Homo-oligomer: A and B are copies of this chain.
């Protein structure tokens, strides 16, 4: 692709002056149109050292309405960022649905540099690019507009530019030994960049490669590419390809085969509770010392005992080491983001535990059943969720997921009991009754969910919950075993 750099005719100063007014109007109109349509935009400014990425960023801020623009310069990671999966920092600043984000540095920068310097191998690099592709595609399917600009400089042009920059008063500081080192690796950078484009040039998020030799020409070209892309997006409605909710012939055995008769006596319960809580306390501190973190997901029928099971886990732990995130209907702010955004926020730092009391699985449970997500959206979510959890795992985070299962009869009993207990009455609402009426739909949804997202590294545990004591101990045991297994296996090569 780099060979096919768009040869743009050099623009004269008077041409530039003449064309800018129209361009600005186009950019602003498109910006406001997308704002109204709640379509967020991500503009990635990438390219060679000395190609003027910073100048382009300044220019776009001048031409667009800056009140709707966030410029994100991704530079050295903070500790908070480096303790999380690689994409956490991007989720952190993902633009909400009425904004434009300009990325100066992006998910391409690190991989390219590490590849050039031979710090990642060919296949790992390809995996990284595949994940970038997945990530971009996921955002696009959610309505994001992604515009990728590559500012190209030939070898000679780069040398000339770096020399010029050194001479200029402003920008003096911007040329440093690293720039010259990169220049000496010109071929390597060109090769790796070429591969990047081959791997990540998609129809929905194409690379726009342009010659950056002349400032005015470059800025005008970038502006026009952006205006075109935004206008095209504004003209098309967010395309949600219709997908039939596939008539599911998957059996519901996931829940049907659960043995709900399992019980545990009070004495045994106390003994085991003490044992596992003791172990968990120690294991969590070991994890803390080794900066290994963990995520637990709790889903289940209303009144299945999620809250009290979670407390049996947390009571073993120092409050400084964990957080419980209760998940309810999204707020206005959360709705103006990709649905995974509010969960990324709570990915734990090194050595901590986050417990989700309900989770991103709401996408394929309540949102599916209450038709808050379209069939396309919730079907797509399975892959998105697998990708999300894989990122946690790749970062060394332990993941376990629990579905607390009870029978319909047991639920009826518990609803009645809640209504008769003053300090439990608040737990039972209209919604619980509505959900109960949809028991069978939920059974299907749970079966699909488990079938689609039960992976080796992030397994589902279906826990029989008619007997609360049995359920709590079963969960504690799973958690303890997860810690033991994970701290044993990864201990050596951290």
Residues in A lying within 8 Å of B, measured CB to CB: 21, 24-25, 27-28, 32, 54, 57-58, 61-62, 65-67, 71, 73, 75, 78-80, 104-105, 169-174, 274, 277-278, 281-282, 285, 307, 311, 314-316, 318-320, 323-324, 326, 328, 331-333, 349, 357, 422-423, 426-427
Q: List 14 A-B contacts (CB under 8 A).
A: A21-B422, A21-B423, A24-B423, A54-B318, A57-B319, A58-B314, A58-B319, A66-B357, A67-B326, A67-B357, A71-B324, A73-B319, A78-B78, A171-B281
Give every chain B residue within 8 A of A320 (Cβ-Cβ): 73, 75, 104-105
Copies of this chain per assembly: 2
Give every chain B residue within 8 A of A332 (Cβ-Cβ): 331-333
Give every chain B residue within 8 A of A285 (Cβ-Cβ): 173
Q: Are A54 and B170 within 8 A (Cβ)?
A: no
Closest Cβ of chain B to A349, distance in Å, is 7
Nearest to A422 among chain B residues (CB) is B25
Main secondary structure of the interface of A (DSSP, over half): helix
Given A32-B426, A79-B79, A333-B333: A274 and B104 interface contact (C-beta under 8 Å) = no
Nearest to A310 among chain B residues (CB) is B66
Q: Are A323 and B71 within 8 A (Cβ)?
A: yes
Closest Cβ of chain B to A52, distance in Å, is 12
Given A73-B320, A332-B332: A170 and B67 interface contact (C-beta under 8 Å) = no
Give every chain B residue within 8 A of A311 (Cβ-Cβ): 58, 61-62
- Max chain B CB contacts within 10 Å: which of A104, A274, A422, A423? A423
Q: Are B307 and A66 within 8 A (Cβ)?
A: yes
Q: Are B281 and A104 within 8 A (Cβ)?
A: no
A318 to B27, CA, bound (A): 24
Give every chain B residue within 8 A of A80 (Cβ-Cβ): 78-80
Nearest to A65 among chain B residues (CB) is B426
Give every chain B residue within 8 A of A171 (Cβ-Cβ): 281
Give every chain B residue within 8 A of A324 (Cβ-Cβ): 61, 66, 71
A346 to B49, CA, bound (A): 29
Q: From B27, B65, B71, B169, give the contact of A319 (CB < 8 A).
A: B71
Give every chain B residue within 8 A of A281 (Cβ-Cβ): 170-173
Closest Cβ of chain B to A450, distance in Å, is 25
Give every chain B residue within 8 A of A427 (Cβ-Cβ): 65
Q: From B174, B274, B349, give the contact of A318 (CB < 8 A).
A: B174
A67 to B323, CA, bound (A): 12
List 4 A-B pairs, minimum CB-CB distance, nearest first: A24-B423, A73-B320, A67-B326, A25-B422
Nearest to A332 among chain B residues (CB) is B332
Give every chain B residue within 8 A of A104 (Cβ-Cβ): 319-320
Closest Cβ of chain B to A332, distance in Å, is 5
A288 to B17, CA, bound (A): 36
> Contacts A79-B79, A105-B320 given; 19 further ones with Cβ under 8 A?
A24-B422, A25-B422, A25-B423, A32-B426, A54-B319, A65-B426, A67-B357, A71-B323, A73-B319, A73-B320, A79-B80, A169-B274, A170-B274, A170-B278, A172-B281, A172-B282, A173-B281, A173-B285, A174-B318
Nearest to A31 among chain B residues (CB) is B426
A105 to B129, CA, bound (A): 43
Q: Are A170 and B66 within 8 A (Cβ)?
A: no
Nearest to A23 among chain B residues (CB) is B423
Closest Cβ of chain B to A237, distance in Å, is 23
A233 to B183, CA, bound (A): 66
Give every chain B residue within 8 A of A277 (Cβ-Cβ): 170
- Max chain B CB contacts within 10 Å: which of A67, A307, A331? A67
Given A78-B349, A323-B71, A422-B25: A331 and B328 interface contact (C-beta under 8 Å) = no
A79 to B80, CA, bound (A): 7
Give every chain B residue within 8 A of A73 (Cβ-Cβ): 319-320
